[in-house]
Amino acid sequence: MTDYQKEYKKQYKQKNKIVSFPLSNIFYEELRRKSIYYDLSVNAYVKQIVTNTLNNDTIMPLTADRQKHIQEYIHISRGIANNINQIAKSSNSGEYIDISILINSLKHYEDEFKKYISKS
């Protein structure tokens, strides 16, 4: 081991402590199952739980399903914002805006939001 590695290890041990304790198989399997759900290792998941609890923080990492759900929400919202911007640009430049196209477009996004919300 090089001097650099020894010094790094010494500083690491001064700043961090390793905690280990026995856990029944039932509890370990529950932790393992939940860690898979969050796409974390068991140790990373337990560390997240402990640090969140000590910080009085209830935020847990987002699941893959929740991340997908949020991305879908952002996609729909951006579509609406893009249409509104196009309409504003057209009206500001004096172009004729077909109200039926506007209403149909907004209805489409309203329907998409209703589908999105029903999945929640």
The total number of residues shown for the chain amounts to 120
Q: In this structure, which amino acid lies at residue 89?
A: K
Instruction: Give the count of alpha carbons within 13 A of 43, CB side only.
Output: 4
- Give the closest residue to 49 by CA, choosing from 57, 105, 97, 41: 57
pTM of the full structure:
0.44
Q: pLDDT value at position 120?
A: 56
Q: pLDDT value at position 15?
A: 92
Q: Please report, for the chain, the start and end positions of each structural domain, with discontinuous segments joined by +.
A: 16-61, 64-119
Q: In this structure, which amino acid lies at residue 77?
A: S
Q: pLDDT value at position 32?
A: 93
Q: pLDDT value at position 11?
A: 92
Averaged pLDDT, groups of 10, the chain, 120 residues long: 88 90 91 90 91 74 76 81 78 75 77 73
